[in-house]
Amino acid sequence: MAEGGVQRGLEDVVALESQICFIDGKEGRLIYRGYDIRELAERSTFEEVAYLLWYGRLPTPDQLDGLRTRLAGLRALPEPIERILAEMPPSANAMDVLRTCVSALAILEPAETQPGPSSIGGALRLTAVLPTILGHFHRARAGMPRLAPAPDLSHAAWVLHALRGTEASELEVRALDVALILHADHELNASTFAARVTASTLSDLYSAVTSAIGTLKGPLHGGANERVMELLDEVGTPARAEEVVRAKLARHERIMGFGHRVYKVEDPRATILREWSRKLGQAKGNLRYFDLLRQVEQVVHAEKGLYPNVDLYSGSIYTLLGIPRDLFTPLFAASRVSGWTAHVLEEYQDLRLIRPTSRYVGPIDLAYVPIEKRTAA
């Protein structure tokens, strides 16, 4: 609600026009460039969706093959970035690692830092290389073998190869592919808006993505699926779900993975990921997370009338895929970079500096007091 003419958090404020993403919060629909997310998640790959976000249309077979080849060719890290990663302490926050490396890449990729149509090269480069950055960092701290090129792998398969070093099954690759598609864009969320604000100053794409990563690091935007998995650790068994959740609600604690500022019904991404959590758990003979989540979901809906959002089931899928929890949010970034860069490219096409105003609520006309006469407050 507006308070004194101020719309707190810019809720429901229309800041710009875009052709990239549409959220129908009342009907629970998510649209990328005119295509329903349900159909894209069922029939497309992440590479197809990234092409759609960047170019505004689905690719032909030749265009898709060309994109896959380009992305695979851009995965390698420049030697200076490898040196930076070698200096990162194992305890470093992976989002800090991503932010630092993206910022450093801007220095090494000067042709891609000029704002405008040529920035599509930077979009491809960052989408290709973020999983490599995470892979190098995680492998070093985990004592795993050095990340080797695998140009024949799809983007989702490359992500799993980079983070795990073990061969992934077809089902595992498809599960991650769907998750990457669902996280690719979501209209003017905080990190995307930060990227567009940066781009509106005519700064470069790498700076815009650095802004977005820094914004996503904040726990009010990223990391909810990690908190969901911590809740499941606390619950332990489905029989304890009601007791634990009701006690938290009685203490007015927030249960992560529920509710959304835009959706008034269930987040369509949650609907899709729920099924993938079940399917992957069933294939691995481990439905524990799925069963716990279903119990938590029923209690929260009964008590608060809240519906799941994308974060409720994504953590269980990442866990079943063998991805460490502290890489959940960086993995989100590795997907969302396709959407961030699409928005930056769109911003360059219709530039207007984003500069809102604020309502001043402080004092006016204070009398200046010389320093020798001031007293401590």
pLDDT per residue over 261-292, tens digit each?
A: 889 899 999 999 999 999 999 999 999 999 99
Please say if 311 is a catalytic residue: yes
Q: Which two tokens stand for residue 162?
A: 């980079």
Q: Which pLDDT band holds residue 20 (cuts at 50, 70, 90)?
A: very high
Q: Which helix (H) or strand (E) holds 24?
A: strand 21-24
In this prediction, residue 345 carries a pLDDT of 95
> Which is it for the CA torsion 186, 192, 193, 199, positive or negative?
negative
Q: Find the length of the chain.
A: 377
Ranges for all domains in the chain classified under CATH 1.10.230.10: 224-320
**The CA-based dihedral angle spanning residues 145, 147, 148, 153, taken in that order and rounded to the nearest 10 degrees:** 120
- Tell me what the pLDDT averaged over the chain comes to: 94
In this prediction, residue 1 carries a pLDDT of 45
The residue annotated as part of the active site, out of 24, 36, 221, 291, is 221
Please say if 260 is a catalytic residue: yes
At residue 345, what is the residue type?
L
| CATH number of the domain located at residue range(s) 17-220+326-349 in this protein | 1.10.580.10
* Chain segment 194-238, per-residue pLDDT in tens: 999 999 999 999 999 999 999 999 998 999 999 999 999 999 999
Residue 228: which residues within 8 A CB-CB, separation 6 or more? 256, 257, 293, 311, 312, 315, 316
Buried b (16+ CB within 10 A) or exposed e, 337-372: bbbbbbbbbbbbeeeeeeeeeeeeeeeeeeeeeeee
First to last CA, the chain: 35
Cross-strand pairs, 22: 31
The residue annotated as part of the active site, out of 161, 185, 311, 343, is 311
The residue annotated as part of the active site, out of 136, 183, 186, 260, is 260
What percent of the chain stands above pLDDT 90? 86
Mean pLDDT across 110-132:
86
pTM, 2 dp: 0.94
Tell me the chain's radius of gyration from C-alpha atoms: 22
Are 97 and 133 a contacting pair, CB within 8 Å?
yes
Domain 224-320: which CATH number of 1.10.3720.10, 1.10.230.10, 3.30.1380.20, 3.40.50.1100 = 1.10.230.10
What percent of the chain stands above pLDDT 70? 97
**Strand order from edge to edge, sheet including 29-32:** 21-24, 29-32, 35-36
Please say if 136 is a catalytic residue: no
* Chain segment 244-255, per-residue pLDDT in tens: 999 999 999 999
